[in-house]
Amino acid sequence: MEALIEKLKEQIIKQLNLEDITPADINEEDSLFGEGLGLDSIDALELIVLLEKEYGIRIENPKDGQKIFFSIKTMAEFIQEHQKK
Amino acid sequence: MTPQITAFCHIKKNQVFLNGKSIFSAGPEVDMREFVKAAFRNTGTKYPKFFKMDDYSKLGFLAAEVLMKEVDVSTIEAKSTGIVLSNNHSTLTTDQLFQESIQSDESFFPSPSVFVYTLPNIMAGEIAIRHHFTGENAFFVSSAFDPDWHTFYINQLFDSKKISACLSGWVEMDDQSLDAFVYFVEKGNDLRNESMLHTVEELNNLYKINDK
């Protein structure tokens, strides 16, 4: 899980062009949207693409997005759970 | 009364000029995209969204940022400040980037953040959001910077009272080079730089002033 979280941080920084932010700056439990990393709706779409492109996971129900993308940790848990299947 | 140019910024060949004076530069070995990012950091502005923009918008946004530091914003009305920009390639480089992401059926991952920048007026939108300009705006595509069109169109906006000030210019970029010339036009009785009238001759002169 630890390795997956670190990998996710790096992928998100790269995919979302979060310049001037390093993996160490991101707390895995901080919210990705709003006050945390301050991501926006386009970033949310990029995260959906990232999950599909890098992990082959497709989000079937868009309503689940809010829970899945709450933080790096919730994303990692979702990936781990769905990759086992 | 002819509107007047109160500030102008030119970015080209890894140099940023403000009112004709070089204020930031990098050697020719520096990649032009890295140069734009470095020049933006040099402005001291904290605006993380900048780094998410496509290359065209970054360039136009940077030029506007440098320019607006020279404009006395207390004297302008943001709600009647317009934006009129133009270039040659529209957003061709970004369009190609997006096309590459959907080229292959096996690797079909269209990027939403690339797609949103496949219209040149998005650049105007980014500048408008940053500086709260809500006046008339337009983006034109022409083969080269066209002072005749810019003066005609903008002076007409002033005459019809659609705008009270305007950020205007040319923001062009391709794989090899970039060229951003933006200027601020105002109309009033007590403006600085009174000799810089918004005329074809003056624009031609200012556009070439750093060629020497």
Interface predicted TM-score of the whole assembly (ipTM), two decimals: 0.80
The tokens of B148 are what? 């005749």
pLDDT tens-digit series, residues B15-69:
999 999 999 999 999 999 999 999 999 999 999 899 999 999 999 999 999 999 9
pLDDT at site B104: 85
CATH superfamily of A2-84: ACP-like (1.10.1200.10)
Task: Give contacts of A42 with chain B, Cβ < 8 Å.
Answer: 52, 112-113, 116
Name the phi and psi angles at A6, rounded to 5.
-65, -40
Q: Is B37 on the interface with A (CB under 8 A)?
A: yes
Here the tokens at position B27 are: 């050697």
Domain positions in chain A are: 2-84
Tens-digit pLDDT profile for residues B126-157: 999 999 999 999 999 999 999 999 999 999 99
Structure tokens at A41: 């709706």
Verify whether the Cβ–Cβ distance A16 to B112 is below 8 Å.
no
Q: With an 8 Å Cβ cutoff, is A18 touching chain B?
A: yes
CB proximity A49 to B under 8 Å = yes
Average pLDDT of the residues in B175-189? 91
B33–A contact, CB cutoff 8 A: no
| pLDDT of amino acid B192 | 62
CATH architecture of the domain covering B4-208: 3-Layer(aba) Sandwich (3.40)
Cβ pairs bridging A and B (under 8 Å): 29
Backbone phi and psi for residue B17, each to the nearest 5 degrees, phi listed first: -110, 135
Q: Which of B158, B150, B140 is nearest to B8 (CA)?
A: B150
pLDDT digits 0-9 by tens, B95-132: 999 999 899 888 788 999 999 999 999 999 999 999 99
In contact, B159 and B75? CB cutoff 8 Å: no
pLDDT at B210 over 90: no
Q: Retrieve residue B121's tokens.
A: 């007026």
Q: Do B52 and A20 touch (CB under 8 A)?
A: no
What pLDDT, on a 0 to 100 scale, did the predictor assign at position B11? 98
**In 3D, which of B85, B81, B82, B67 has the Cα closest to residue B16?**
B67
Report the 3 state secondary structure along B55-68: HHHHHHHHHHHHHH
Predicted TM-score of the model (pTM): 0.91
Alpha carbons B170 and B89: distance in angstroms, whole number: 11
Going by pLDDT thresholds of 50, 70 and 90, the confidence category of residue B92 is very high
